Amino acid sequence: MNLFNRILLIYSVIQILKSDPINRDIIIDGNFDDWLDVRSYTDPRDNINGTVYQESPWFPSLKIPDCHDTDSKKQTDIPKHIYNPNVNIVEFKIAHDDSSLYVYYRVVDDGVIGKTSAGLGPFNRSDPSKPSAGRFYIKTIINLDMNDTTGIWLNEDGFYPTAPGFDGRFRIEFYNGTYNQGSYADHGTNNSNETSYVIEENKQNKFLIRPAAQAYSSVYIYWRQKPTQDEIKRCLDGPYELPAPYDNHYVCFSKDCAPGPFNGIVTYARSAKGKELQMRAPFLGFLLNKDTGLPTLQLGMTVNISLSLETTPEYSIPQEWVSDTTATIQYTLSER
């Protein structure tokens, strides 16, 4: 395939949104009527036979199972099909207001977003019937500078169909049967030394956008006010108060399975049956762009966005980690 045709294919597969107007009507309360007029996007409905596929515009010859394992990491890998209705996204939406991004997920009718088992330890393949502490991730990852050479490829995190250039994300973690934390991540690092540097910059309210490797991202919880004493006690690194004029805003650096719950500025609500979930992530959590001094995410920007659901093996067939990732959406945060 020549370069011109490949570019055409990429732009035909990435779903491009016109500038959507500010939506000031969405409330994170579990009532989804305020999403009715928001543009809807579909994701394939997986089946247990693994005959439903997606493709990446960067690798159009590869047929990617809709729901799949998370062990595959190479751009040209074809991950193994894994069936789990709890991650089987069939519809998603994106919206924004003056200060926040909102995302909406819907899975198949028998799925429950955020469903995790409860137990004393991780899933044991040698004894799969033993109760285990399950994990579930609701993730929105963003190409913040529309530059494919910075950030990470989705496949580095085990997500397909892959795409390049993702600089940061926000995420909800459910762990051991309950909500655990809502966090942001800065993907501007390639090794442990760079990660230490990025963390120091994050403490100064600076977000780095650079070529990166997923394994070394900084992960942090953001508060607009001082965390509770219980959260402070359980914080693994911090909390750190940000410099003026963001004083009384705090970040705590975190990791998977941290001793939550931590109730930062990323919020969510589920429907009664659990097949729908909405999230709100204030722009503040992406800090200030280190290179420009301006908010890393703000009105007027155009970004690429991808949504994923991921969970541990307990409810999967076969019992392995599984994820489902949507098409990449080009989204403009219009000012009106």
Signed CA dihedral, 196, 202, 206, 211: sign only: positive
With 0-12 CB in 10 A as exposed, 13-18 as middle and 19+ as buried, what is 305? Answer: buried
Q: What is the pLDDT of residues 26-48, one digit of tens each?
A: 999 999 999 999 999 999 999 99
With 0-12 CB in 10 A as exposed, 13-18 as middle and 19+ as buried, what is 100? Answer: buried
Q: What is the pLDDT of residue 8?
A: 44
Per the structure, the complete domain to which residue 286 belongs is given by 3-332
Query: CA 273 to CA 133: how far, in whole Å?
Result: 22
CB atoms within 10 A of CB 179: 18
Query: CA 318 to CA 82: how far, in whole Å?
Result: 6
Q: What is the pLDDT of residues 231-251, one digit of tens each?
A: 999 999 999 999 999 999 999
| 8 A C-beta contact, residue 118 and residue 134 | yes
Does residue 14 carry a pLDDT above 80?
no
With 0-12 CB in 10 A as exposed, 13-18 as middle and 19+ as buried, what is 104? Answer: buried
Which of 198, 194, 183, 204 has the alpha carbon at shortest distance from 285?
Answer: 183
Query: CA 306 to CA 295: how far, in whole Å?
Result: 21
Query: CA 81 to CA 67: how far, in whole Å?
Result: 6
Q: What is the pLDDT of residue 286?
A: 98
pLDDT band at 15 (very low <50, low <70, confident <90, very high): low
Question: What is the tally of structural domains in the chain?
Answer: 1
Q: What is the pLDDT of residue 21?
A: 82
Q: What is the pLDDT of residues 76-129, one digit of tens each?
A: 999 999 999 999 999 999 999 999 999 999 999 999 999 999 999 999 999 999
